[in-house]
Structure 1
Amino acid sequence: MTALGLAAGVASEPDPLVGRWEDPRDGLRLAVEADGTYTVAPTDRAALTGTWSRDVADVVTFTNDADAAVCAGVPGRYEAIVSREQASFVVLEDACTPRMDHLEDTFVADDD
């Protein structure tokens, strides 16, 4: 069996970023789905949706949907620091100020 065949037969680990997260400071919720979508739900305005991908081990790109009310189609790259209980993001490159503002705090796992 080739190395490719061996690799294809091994199930990959789930991405630790996938899950539901909450900013304890303001209640903002971040849902990161295994299908490559995400939702940022502030408590005081409409939710934003988009796609996400992991570029390299610790770098994640979030891109708002093309029809988003703000930053439509704009990608932003972040270093993601994730543990079982917490997720935080360090902006590497993002022209979307609202998304940077949403992701500036440490999130805690939301078990609800």
Structure 2
Amino acid sequence: MITITNKTDCGGCGACASRCVTSCITMAPDEEGFNYPLVDTDKCIHCGLCERVCPLLHKPQPHEILAVIGCKNKNEAVRFVSSSGGFFSLAAEKILGRQGT
């Protein structure tokens, strides 16, 4: 069962409530309006799923970045209306121009 003793140990993401199989965890705002989990201990079966899914209890392990590649479309008008730097439309045009190969 997830227990928050210090509010800085909870980001209010709601992952614990989403993962709970008995729906004993609900997210409720505190006096400042930030959501925190409330556990109905009578419904809790102590399966531990809420604790295993918590990103603050289980921070990701650092790993080596293998490679980073960046690109952008040279056409500024395309970039302006794109969320990917215009790369997708450029790649799609090239692939479609080759009949998908």
TM-score by length of 1: 0.23
Comparing both structures, which one devotes a greater share of its residues to strand? 1
Comparing both structures, which one devotes a greater share of its residues to helix? 2
Q: Which has the larger radius of gyration?
A: 2
TM-score by length of 2: 0.25
